[in-house]
Amino acid sequence: MYNNDRKSAEQLALVAAVVTIIISRKLTSDQMGLVGDFLEVLGDMLDAMQSQMEYNKQIREKFKKSCKRKRRTSSND
């Protein structure tokens, strides 16, 4: 599995490099900086959203486990 993950990551890096080269050929230096900054902000926002989704998922799972424990405890009484 590790080899597949590594291969996939390497393929993604290659695709990103090729797309970057293609896009950069049509842009000025200032435009490249602007697009790069925009994509960086976009990436940061996606990371923040993913982190929040993961946090919410963990909270829901803890809540479900807590509810199951309470049901077991109350049914034993």
Helical H segments across 1-77, by residue range: 2-24, 29-76
Written as tens digits, the pLDDT of the chain (77 aa) is 567 788 899 999 999 999 999 999 999 999 999 999 999 999 999 999 999 999 999 999 999 988 888 888 777 65
What residues make up the domain containing 16?
2-76
| Separation between Cα atoms, residue 6 and residue 12, nearest integer Å | 10
pLDDT at 72: 81
What's the structural domain count of the chain?
A: 1
| Separation between Cα atoms, residue 28 and residue 43, nearest integer Å | 22
| Separation between Cα atoms, residue 17 and residue 11, nearest integer Å | 10
| Separation between Cα atoms, residue 54 and residue 59, nearest integer Å | 9
Copy the structure tokens of residue 76: 């034993």
Q: Is the pTM of this model over 0.75?
A: no
pLDDT at 77: 59
